[in-house]
Structure 1
């Protein structure tokens, strides 16, 4: 990490003080473990009656949760315990259980039923089969920023780091009942949307607004809230939103992902304050690095767009933690982040564990059962 100039603070005021996490979950039948919708549960979520932190999703087979605003990793962990308990309770009221992974091991998008809300009817009218086949779940981390200028400055500088963050979260090795060969097939499925993927460099807030205006004029989106980039400024809260991660069943992995995202925002905002230019990685190269992260996860090698070489995934992850070490140490989070990182590298992602279960049992229902039974509050 670059050393700050003597007269420039190492951390920009108001950046990264807060964070929050949104998680999306599949609902399943308790006996068959097949993806199963509930109009009753979905309608309750639409009315805001499924739980204080529970929200609807496009399909009646899904629910979303959102933590409150957190300032520490301990408070985030506590919030996640609350939101996950709420989604389990909401599912149980409809006679269902929660499957915490970005794709279901054997169910198909053909079993989806649209949640009855104007927002989702508009999406289907707009996107047709893309919306009707949205059988994936994700995890979004919001990091507080003081203004759009800061959000854009960090977004431009964070682009090269997105693939390694993705690789640490893979939980979608199956889709439609087949082994896909990817740790995050969700990333591949989501890439069909024309407003997904890593954003291009913007330069400043005015340029970002101009891009949004052009996209609105093109008819592709009505406003910036419909941009589904892997990283974007939020339109409803003062945050930068990391959207590229798979849903992680383990709270430890969620906390790690959020800690790295927040530290990255703080470090990169300080670099922007010092007028250090962003590393401008070609979009073709960044898409390739993203594809490899989805393909390999932590089980192989990742493309390092800074060095321009393939490196072992564990090396790439440890390099990221080392780059953020000073800032994490200043916050008193370095030891926890290092411990969580080594734990993840030792046991592997959810995708790796799902694949091991399938190869041991030959049974995708066993994969689903392990996910459902291992979820807190199950």
Structure 2
């Protein structure tokens, strides 16, 4: 069984107005003090809470686990730790790919972030986005690159499943994931070409760095990449999910894609060498429509209804899901999203019901989203 871990970027918003608050340092200190007073139970240890690009964000990461229930537990535990620390300083935690409401968001001060600000200018100030990054265990660089080459056509579907950023800066963007086009503003973002070997992967990364555009290797923001710290493939395309259940679903699908790709490579089946510009179009379509319209069907490259494409995805990774004992869980999760909608639908239900000229009503809607982030399920009218 391949282990899987998840990093979640979370927003800090005012507990009353729902607007971004620059309180990352205060929340991290409060969480550390709370942990010092009451250490977590042994089965809740592992993972971390840290800074992100903006002071209105924090990032959690889970320890690597093998079962979906263990991952669900770890994600909820870290959201709860962050929530309780945020409440101590007058904030709430929101899992959203973008900030639904406008507000002042300052960039963290560090030598690296200062260098990024100097290089990228206004883009850094505007780049308030939150993703869900899934790490899946691989045996080494050879298997890792073989996996990257074979999952690239399927990765946009994880964005569709996770879509959770329809509102940004007090505007309904018409996208299910507006985070995606914002993320694609990074010059190093997007799909990789088929590379074939660890040496070719290394040459590709070094060629990007040689341009002087990415600040360092950590800024190679491709849809999926080899982790520099761990023997994992890191899949970075998903929005942070409003509902923990959706984050677990994304992780289960990511693991199944990795396992399926590794088996294909072992069997000598080559990757589909789809040009990267076409994969960018598939990603754009997933961000625009999520699960509400049509997606690009990976085997054919044509536009098909989301339900049909998800059925193809389940067929593609079916053996890996069954071997992991995850098939029923994933099939039920996809059926739930097709019927009930992703986080983007919940955001539109709550924010769309509020008077756009009533700041207090919009704030209440965002606070309701914070309660869903914490594991509660308020009705659209709350």
Residue 107 of structure 1 aligns to a residue whose secondary structure is coil
Instruction: Answer whether contact 2:12 2:24 (CA < 8 A) is retained.
Output: no
Q: Once the 2 structures are TM-superposed, how far is the Cα of residue 297 of structure 1 from its aligned partner?
A: 0.5
Instruction: Answer whether contact 1:104 1:368 (CA < 8 A) is retained.
Output: no
Q: Once the 2 structures are TM-superposed, how far is the Cα of residue 366 of structure 1 from its aligned partner?
A: 4.4
Alignment of 1:120-139 (within 5 A): 120-139=113-132
Correspondence for 2:194: 201
- Change in Cα spacing, 1:192 to 1:98, as seen in structure 2 (3 Å) is same
| Superposition misfits of 4+ residues, deviation over 4 angstroms | 47-52
Q: Once the 2 structures are TM-superposed, how far is the Cα of residue 221 of structure 1 from its aligned partner?
A: 2.8
Aligned residues: 360
Deviations along 1:25-81, one digit per CA (max 9) or x if unpaired, are: 111111111111126426739x97686621111111111100011111111111112
RMSD between aligned residues: 2.0
Instruction: Answer whether contact 1:170 1:294 (CA < 8 A) is retained.
Output: yes
* Candidates 21, 26, 30, aligned match of 2:15: 30
1:115 aligns with 2:108: yes
Where does structure 2 lack aligned partners over 5 or more consecutive residues? 36-46, 357-361, 377-382
Alignment of 1:39-118 (within 5 A): 40-41=25-26, 44=29, 53-108=48-103, 111-118=104-111
Q: Once the 2 structures are TM-superposed, how far is the Cα of residue 223 of structure 1 from its aligned partner?
A: 3.9
1:337 aligns with 2:330: yes
Q: C-alpha distance in 1, partners of 2:80/2:241? A: 15
Q: C-alpha distance in 2, partners of 1:68/1:362? A: 42
Stretch of structure 1 that moved more, 219-228 or 280-289: 219-228
Deviations along 1:166-189, one digit per CA (max 9) or x if unpaired, are: 111111011121111100000011
Deviations along 1:251-299, one digit per CA (max 9) or x if unpaired, are: 1111110001001101111111112110111222111111111001011
Q: C-alpha distance in 2, partners of 1:304/1:63? A: 35
Q: C-alpha distance in 1, partners of 2:251/2:25? A: 32
Instruction: Answer whether contact 1:225 1:234 (CA < 8 A) is retained.
Output: no
Q: Once the 2 structures are TM-superposed, how far is the Cα of residue 333 of structure 1 from its aligned partner?
A: 1.3
Residue 194 of structure 2 aligns to a residue whose secondary structure is coil
Residue 28 of structure 1 aligns to a residue whose secondary structure is strand
Superposition TM-score, scaled by structure 1 size: 0.90
Correspondence for 2:222: 229
Residue 183 of structure 1 aligns to a residue whose secondary structure is coil
1:263 aligns with 2:256: yes
Instruction: Answer whether contact 1:285 1:305 (CA < 8 A) is retained.
Output: no
Instruction: Answer whether contact 1:53 1:86 (CA < 8 A) is retained.
Output: no
Q: C-alpha distance in 2, partners of 1:279/1:42? A: 45
Deviations along 1:150-176, one digit per CA (max 9) or x if unpaired, are: 111111111110111111111101112
Q: C-alpha distance in 2, partners of 1:112/1:376? A: 22
Q: C-alpha distance in 2, partners of 1:229/1:375? A: 27
- Change in Cα spacing, 1:66 to 1:233, as seen in structure 2 (3 Å) is same
Instruction: Answer whether contact 1:41 1:50 (CA < 8 A) is retained.
Output: no
Correspondence for 1:293: 286
Alignment of 1:308-319 (within 5 A): 308-319=301-312
Instruction: Answer whether contact 2:184 2:190 (CA < 8 A) is retained.
Output: yes
- Change in Cα spacing, 1:362 to 1:281, as seen in structure 2 (3 Å) is farther
Q: C-alpha distance in 2, partners of 1:280/1:352? A: 34
Q: C-alpha distance in 2, partners of 1:310/1:337? A: 23
Q: C-alpha distance in 2, partners of 1:36/1:167? A: 28
Q: C-alpha distance in 2, partners of 1:50/1:240? A: 33
1:17 aligns with 2:18: no
Residue 229 of structure 1 aligns to a residue whose secondary structure is coil
Correspondence for 2:365: 367
- Change in Cα spacing, 1:126 to 1:44, as seen in structure 2 (3 Å) is farther
Q: C-alpha distance in 2, partners of 1:48/1:214? A: 40
Where does structure 1 lack aligned partners over 5 or more consecutive residues? 1-15
* Candidates 151, 170, 180, aligned match of 1:177: 170
Deviations along 1:114-139, one digit per CA (max 9) or x if unpaired, are: 22333322221232222222211110
